[in-house]
Structure 1
Amino acid sequence: MTTWMLLDYGEVISVAQPSDATATMAELMGHDEATFRNRYWHHRDAYDRGQASHLYWGAVLGRTLADDDPLVAKLDAADVESWLHLNPETLRGIEDLAGRHRLALLSNAPEPLAAAIDDAPWAAAFEHRFYSCRLGLSKPDPAIFEEVLRHLGAVPGDVTFLDDRAVNVDAAAALGINALLYPEWPASPRTD
């Protein structure tokens, strides 16, 4: 029986980063947008697992940045802003699900984004919010799902997980979690 609905954030609750947002970050770094996107994602896993911002942005830039470099704060702010564009359909779905299930969030997110999500009014619907940066683990590592199950006090069959990446859905499903690939919205998730 599904007790918990566990939702991803990026490209499920939020929409994809707008191209003008990534263009702004690329401009701040002096990269063309294609080079920036490549380096942004190439180095992202360590950042999502808790790496300090200045180390991440330094890797993307290709040079060392001090933790108090003003460029770091500008890039953090631009990056967070790029992920704050919400999907109205998902927000309506969250309202519906909150009346029938307990809600939790699981996101691969660095600390600046995690803090912004925690401060968002809609986030109050989630009893638990789990972030890769705070767990030191990231999806699709099965250990992150095991850690979430432990914190929820749930067995895999108690949880329905919704994510936009097939690799994450497959990892959760391999543990016995009812996992759905977004945009398959669980209007009536399995409850047996």
Structure 2
Amino acid sequence: MATVGLVERSRTVVFDLGEVLVSSGEVLPLLAAEVGVSPAEFATAYWPGRPAYDLGGAPEDYWTGVVRALDREPDPALLRRLVQLDSAKWSTLPQASADLLAHVRGRGIRLAVLSNAPAPLAAAVRAAPWSAVVGHLVFSAEEALVKPDPAIYARADATYGTEPGDVIFFDDKPENVAAARAHGWDAHVWAGATAALAALER
């Protein structure tokens, strides 16, 4: 079989979004400033309700909970700003990630994304120019499944048109990587772009 240097042409490289292609350090400080608290304080309110939001929960419900946990009033205008800012920042690739995707795609390798993400963020990624080079995007809110549920990896294979042995996957959470490996994917805990390229070379 012909190869393209990094991996075989038939393979599909799948990236998580949050903490892989985009760091929370690019997002949470701006959201915290919008509410008027420190990033550390904001994080304590931001993460607990996120799984339900990623599973398809209503934006108003999630952000009302975040704002109230920070002892702020859930003003509708504030909630709208938080939804928009959260989606815009998580869907904006830093240059290093854009370069990584361009490098991998330039070798003729298929790209895909599998992310636990709420519906507004999924829509923002689909509208972002960079996502046009990604063959398939699978988001938890659209599938009503979240990693590490085994079913989401099978759903992703169906979307990508792959068999488990075709997929190389990068995710920041060890439990998501373990579930992907159990499904049959060649999965790796994210340790940065350089480490990812080294894993693809191997």
TM bucket (normalised to shorter chain) is 0.7 to 0.9
Does 1:170 pair with 2:170? no
Question: Structure 2 CA distance, aligned partners of 1:122 and 1:168?
Answer: 24
Report the 3-state secondary structure (helix = DSSP H, G, I; strand = E; otherwise coil) of the residue aligned with 1:21. helix
Q: In 1, are the aligned partners of 2:92 and 2:128 still within 8 Å (CA)?
A: no
TM-score, with normalisation over the residues of structure 1?
0.85
Percent identity, please. Answer: 35
| Closer, same or farther: CA 156–36 of 1 in aligned 2, 3 Å | same
What residue in structure 2 maps to residue 54 of structure 1?
Answer: 60
Report the 3-state secondary structure (helix = DSSP H, G, I; strand = E; otherwise coil) of the residue aligned with 2:197. coil
Question: Structure 2 CA distance, aligned partners of 1:90 and 1:172?
Answer: 22
Counterparts of 1:78-93 in structure 2, within 5 Å, are 78-93=85-100
What residue in structure 1 maps to residue 29 of structure 2?
Answer: 20
Q: Which has the higher mean CA deviation after the structures are superposed, 15-24 or 144-153?
A: 15-24
What residue in structure 1 maps to residue 84 of structure 2?
Answer: 77
| Closer, same or farther: CA 123–131 of 1 in aligned 2, 3 Å | same
Does 1:113 pair with 2:121? yes
Q: Which has the higher mean CA deviation after the structures are superposed, 107-116 or 178-187?
A: 178-187
Question: Structure 1 CA distance, aligned partners of 2:74 and 2:35?
Answer: 16
Question: Structure 2 CA distance, aligned partners of 1:95 and 1:178?
Answer: 21
| Closer, same or farther: CA 187–163 of 1 in aligned 2, 3 Å | same
Instruction: Choose which of 135, 141, 153 in structure 1 pairs with 2:161.
Output: 153
Does 1:181 pair with 2:192? no
Does 1:125 pair with 2:133? yes
Q: CA deviation at 1:190?
A: 6.6
Report the 3-state secondary structure (helix = DSSP H, G, I; strand = E; otherwise coil) of the residue aligned with 2:24. coil
Q: In 2, are the aligned partners of 1:26 and 1:33 still within 8 Å (CA)?
A: no
Question: Structure 1 CA distance, aligned partners of 2:159 and 2:90?
Answer: 26
Alignment RMSD? 2.4
Which residue identity is paired with 2:155?
Answer: E
Instruction: Choose which of 135, 149, 152 in structure 2 pairs with 1:144.
Output: 152
Report the 3-state secondary structure (helix = DSSP H, G, I; strand = E; otherwise coil) of the residue aligned with 1:17. helix
- The aligned length equals 186
Which residue identity is paired with 2:196?
Answer: W
Which residue identity is paired with 2:103?
Answer: D
Q: CA deviation at 1:187?
A: 4.9
Report the 3-state secondary structure (helix = DSSP H, G, I; strand = E; otherwise coil) of the residue aligned with 2:155. helix
For residues 24-51 of structure 1, what are the alpha-carbon distances to aligned partners after superposition, in whole Å with 9 as ceiling and x for unaligned?
2432xxx564443112100000111111
**Unaligned stretches of 5+ residues in structure 1:** none
What residue in structure 2 maps to residue 41 of structure 1?
Answer: 47
